[in-house]
Amino acid sequence: MAAPAYPAWVTRWVSGQWRNKKRPPTLRPPRTLALADKVANRREQSTDATCITEMSVMMACWKQNDFNDTPCAEEIRMFYDCVAKAEKEHRNENEDTLSPRGDLPSSKVNKLLKRFPQITRYV
Amino acid sequence: MAAPSAAGLGRRLRAWLPRIMPVRWSRYNPSYLEPEVKKESYQKPLEELTQEEREQMERKAVRPIKAAPPSLSSSVFSDPLISKFTNMMMKSGNKVLARSLMSQTLEAIKRKQLEKYHKAPENEKETIECNPYVIFHQALKNCQPIIGLSNITKGGKTYQVPVPLTDNRKRFLAMKWLITECRENKHRRTMMPEKLSQELLLAFNNEGPVIKRKHVLHKMAEANRAYAHFRWW
C-alpha cells in the first residue's frame, strides 16, 4: 500500500484545513452575475462651435465696409452655407452613429443597450 | 394606506382629462399630408412631373389630408409673408382691422412711389420700383439680421455669444422690429399705414431706424466674437 488514493475532501478534512478556516471564500454576490443594461453616466466633452472661421471672415469684412451687407455678400453666403451644412449634419445624427470625434456618449450607449437587453432567465 | 391610493387615483384621473388649454403641437396622426392649394401644381401634365411629385401623387391617393386652415388661400393675391406680417400686427384677434391696415400700407407705398415716378426725369424712371410687394419683400430682407446674440452662462457669468439664426427667427425679428418701431417711436397721431409705409421705404433703401438696429446688433456680435467658442452647437 504505497499511496492509498483517498478523495480530495478526505485529505483536506484529515489535515484540518477546513477547521482552520482555510476554506474557499463563500461568495454570496449581492447582485446577479450578469452585465447590466446601462453604463455609468460620463460627462462627455462638449463639442466645438461650428462655422467660427466663416463668421470671423464675415466680421472682418463688415469692419472694413462699415457693416454694409452689399459688399460682403460673398462672405455672408459662405457663412449661410456653412450654417446649413452644420444644421443638416446635426439633424442626421442617428442614435447609432458615432460623434464626429469618434466616440459614443453614454446616453446613446444606454439607448442601444436598452433595445438589446441581457437575457437573465430562460422560459 | 389611504394617502397613496388617493394620490394615485388623482394622478390617474388627471391623466384621463383631455387638455383644455390649446397647445402648440398638432393633434393629427403623422400619416396626414399637408393640403396642396396652388392651382398650377394640378394643371401640370403628367409627363412634366418629377419623380418626387409622382410619388407625392401616389401617396395622396392613399393617405388622408389635413384640413386647410382658413388663412391658406389659393388666390394669386395671397402672399404668405404678408399674411404673417398681418398676423403679427393683429391685436386681440382683430384680423379685419389688421388686414385693412396692411392693404392701406401697400396702397400708401404705391402712391408714394408713383408720385416719385411721375416727378422723376425720363432716364431715372426705370430705377424707381413701384410694386409694393417687391418693396415689402426687399425691405424685410434688408432688415433681417445675419447673426444673433444668445445668453450663455459659463462659470456663473452670463455672456452674450454670437450665434447663427434660423430663417424663421430672422424673419420674425425683422417683422417685430418694424412693428415695434412704428408703434413706439413715432408721433402719437400718425396712422399706422403712414408710419409703416415710411419705414418700409426707408428699409428698402437701406436707411432708417430698423436698419440701424440691425447694425447695432451686428456690431455687438462683432465686439463679442471672442466668446463665440462658448457655443456647443
pTM exceeds cut of 0.80: no
**Chain A residues with CB-CB distance to B under 8 A?**
46-52, 55-56, 58-59, 62-63, 67-69, 76, 79, 83, 90
Q: What is the pLDDT of residues B128-186, one digit of tens each?
A: 999 999 999 999 999 999 999 999 998 999 999 999 999 999 999 999 999 999 999 99
Whether B230 and A49 lie within 8 Å, measured CB to CB = yes
**ipTM for the complex shown:** 0.78
Sorted by where each starts, the structural domains of chain B and their CATH numbers stand as 77-230 (1.10.455.10)
Chain B CB contacts of A45 under 8 Å are none
Q: How far apart are CA B120 and CA B116, in angstroms?
A: 6
DSSP string, B140-182: HHHH--SEEEEEEEETTEEEEEEEE--HHHHHHHHHHHHHHHH
Q: Which residue of A has its CA nearest to B221?
A: A59
Phi and psi (nearest 5°) for B152? Answer: -125, 125
Chain B CB contacts of A52 under 8 Å are 228-229
Does position B4 have pLDDT exceeding 70, yes or no? no
Mean per-residue pLDDT for B107-123?
A: 95
**Alpha-carbon distance A49 to nearest alpha carbon in chain B (angstroms):** 5
Q: Which residue of A has its CA nearest to B206?
A: A68
From the list B162, B206, B230, the residue facing A55 with the nearest CB is: B162
Helix%, strand%, coil% for chain B, nearest 5 = 60, 10, 35
Phi and psi (nearest 5°) for B160? Answer: -95, 110
Q: What is the pLDDT of residues A36-67, one digit of tens each?
A: 899 999 887 777 888 899 999 999 999 999 88
Whether B232 and A46 lie within 8 Å, measured CB to CB = yes
